[in-house]
Amino acid sequence: MVVELCTLVSFIVIIGGGVQRRVAGWQVAVGVLSVGGVVEGGGMGIVAYLFTHDARFFHGWHLDLSFYLATLSWVLLLLTALGIATSALLLQPEGDYELIDPNDEYAPPDDR
């Protein structure tokens, strides 16, 4: 739950920020999404292993809807991370404006 909250906060900060924040922020978003997906997938793997190998789960037990929803959750986390990384690497940069070089002699004078 904490990792998903960090993901949500990073999305809000990255989308609410400027072009420079979006250019550099995708790496943070992909990292947080990947960590969340791996942790959740690992937890699901532990539950699945214990379900098939532990004596506490006797005949008649079954994994219910929450197990399948959690599986869908970590798969979507990893697919979202893959989609963001792919789009950041393959799409053209925004290029709305160029940064002004402070050493440019044609720059407007600084009135400070």
Per-domain boundaries in the chain: 2-89
User: Would you list the DSSP string of 52-64?
Assistant: HH-TTS-TT----
What is the structure's pLDDT at 15?
83
- Is 11:32 a contact under the CB 8 Å cutoff? no
Which helix (H) or strand (E) covers residue 28, if one does? helix 19-53
Residue-wise pLDDT tens for the chain (112 aa)?
788 888 888 888 888 877 777 778 888 889 999 999 999 999 999 988 988 888 887 777 888 898 899 999 999 999 999 998 998 888 877 666 666 676 766 656 666 6
- Is 57:50 a contact under the CB 8 Å cutoff? yes
Backbone Cα Rg of the chain: 22
Q: pTM of the entire structure?
A: 0.71
